[in-house]
Structure 1
Amino acid sequence: MVILDGQVVEIKVNLHCDECIRKILKAIKKIEDIETYDVDTQLNKVTVTGNVTDEQVIKVLQKVRKTAVRWDQANQTLFAN
């Protein structure tokens, strides 16, 4: 797979509380080659831009015990509240 600089990765992840957001931000900041990141608590969406793949971001989020799927697959996956 060829990865382009500035690739945008959008992930659906449950964001229940400030502690969840803190864990997610801490994990995302450790990813190499990211340029920007954003956490949208209203949409439960994490957006990462850089030399990364969706698989890399999902794997990092799963390490902090968060259920994560690609944004374009979010409608196919049920999330428990």
Structure 2
Amino acid sequence: METIKLKTNINCGGCISKVTPFLDKLEGIDTWEVDTNDPDKILTIKSNGASEEDVKTTLQKIGFKGEHVNSY
């Protein structure tokens, strides 16, 4: 299992509710969460097959951004 961390613009409960159905449907994601208290709004995904690019593409389709976090 791989951990993917992305800096996002998902910054509130409304944003989380918007991305939830899309991330929940994305094959290869076991769990995910967004730390909205972190200034970088870090999205942490436990992946079992989904790639970082899969997640970024899904976020872009619904109006959100995801940037790679080098080390966290």
Identify whether the pair has TM-score above 0.5, normalized to the shorter chain. Answer: yes
The question of whether the paired residues in 1 share the 8 Å contact of 2:12 and 2:36 is answered with no
Give the RMSD, CA atoms, in angstroms.
1.6
Partner of 2:15: 20
Gaps of 5+ in 1: 1-5, 74-81
Give TM-score, length-normalised by structure 1. Answer: 0.73
Larger radius of gyration: 1
Q: Determine whether 1:45 maps to 2:42.
A: yes
Secondary structure of the structure 1 residue equivalent to 2:11? coil
Moved over 4 A (4+): none
The question of whether the paired residues in 2 share the 8 Å contact of 1:37 and 1:47 is answered with yes
More deviation in 59-68 or 17-26?
Answer: 17-26
Partner of 1:69: 67
Partner of 1:79: none
Give TM-score, length-normalised by structure 2. Answer: 0.80
Q: Percent identity?
A: 28
